[in-house]
Amino acid sequence: MRDALSQIEGNHHGIVLTTDNKGAVNGLATDGDIRRRLLEGGTLDEPIGSCANRTFVWETPATSRESLIKKLDHRIRFIPILDKDRRLVGVVSREHLPVQLEEAVYARSRSPVRISFGGGGSDLTHYFSEISGAVINTTVSLYSHATLRVRNDSKILLSSRDLGQTLEAEDLSTALNQVGCFGLLQAILKAISPDFGFELYLHSDFPMKSGLGGSAVVSSAVLGCFNQFRRDKWDMHELAELAYQAERLHLGVAGGWQDQYATVFGGFNFMEFRMDQNIVHPLRIHPDTLLELEESLLLCDTGTTHESGDIHEDQRREMQQDDVRILVRNNVELSYRMRNLLLRGRLLEFGHALDEAWQTKRRLSSKISNTRLDAVYDGAMRNGALGGKLLGAGGGGFFLFYVPPFYKHQLMSHLEATGLKVQPFRFEQEGLRAWTVREGRNHIEMDSK
């Protein structure tokens, strides 16, 4: 006990631990335990084990900080940390509670697609370079999903379920120079130039080239993941601009600006485009109006894809003609009117305005519609739709129809009878969402099972 008192004096905890001949901790003694033994007639030459507490409180390395803090707050001054063999691996006290170290994390994100109602063509830079453009759109509950994991080396792995392909490279430079179907992702990597190796996994709830702004949605999801590893995070405008930069400047695909802003910002927005700045105006539409509009819209997959870049290039050429520029200007004015109709809750007029938007849009380029798409639209109008439009650049993808409540079943039955798929959806008020997850609480635990 004399030696134990010396140890207690030196360690400032008021406690010593006892062990068996194999090094397993089997008791704990305090200076108070020693005093009580001396008062009972013991001597300082007795073994410390004669007064050690065999039922002391101890914990394992897996014990949560929350549990340790609660025990220290409940009259316990010192907690030994013992391994499975009861060997000492650490101590915890009020004065010595180790700082929690950062664990490995991975980032996840999802970004929604948009459906556009009016103003198409006016979000092209070559149009609003001379006169301002405006569009109205909203995001819906179909997403691109991304997961990003940082590696300890410079290797890069890209895996896309949409493409059914994987790209592997030793470093960023090698990844950027590989030839294949990962052009969009390579353009994003060129725009942001990450200085670490990583694994990136992607999948989407919608088909490629569907007219829902899918490439911008994928770009947004990817950027959202990388943003989680930045100290100086990009804001929403910067994310939209980076997505545009990657697709339009680096990849060289022609197109407008609304897709990138829509998926990043989310919700119902009225957007104005000028050379000095793009402005996103969130719309405060009455909840009852939103619910009724959601129930009155049908999203229909035509089963055909389109190349939006080719159509936008054709529109760029057509835009040189005065009559086409007048049509786009009419579309801009219509988008202002559609905004006001939604804010006032005048949905029947909004439905008719969709038809007006489609009739204007299909005249912007000969590539926007064709005989089959015209037949789909005309059939929908004969079976209850008040209006609708082909989403995106045109040429295929999804039709959006407005239908009054008592004709909705008729229209759905007609579309399905002609082999078309009606896609359920809900309005999505949130845009890009990104977050980080500790690997030790998810991925690694699953690997160990």
> Which residues are part of the catalytic machinery?
259
Provide CB contacts within 8 A for 129, sequence distance 6+. 275
- Give just the sign of the alpha carbon dihedral 188, 194, 197, 201: negative
User: Quick one: which of 273, 297, 269, 286 has its CA closest to 124?
Assistant: 273
Beta-bridged to residue 301, according to DSSP, are 398, 421
DSSP three-state, residue 172:
helix
- Report the alpha-carbon distance of residue 131 to residue 305 in Å, rounded: 31
Provide CB contacts within 8 A for 69, sequence distance 6+. 97
Beta-bridged to residue 337, according to DSSP, are none
Residues in the chain, overall count = 449
- Report the alpha-carbon distance of residue 184 to residue 222 in Å, rounded: 10
Strands 297-301 and 88-93: unpaired
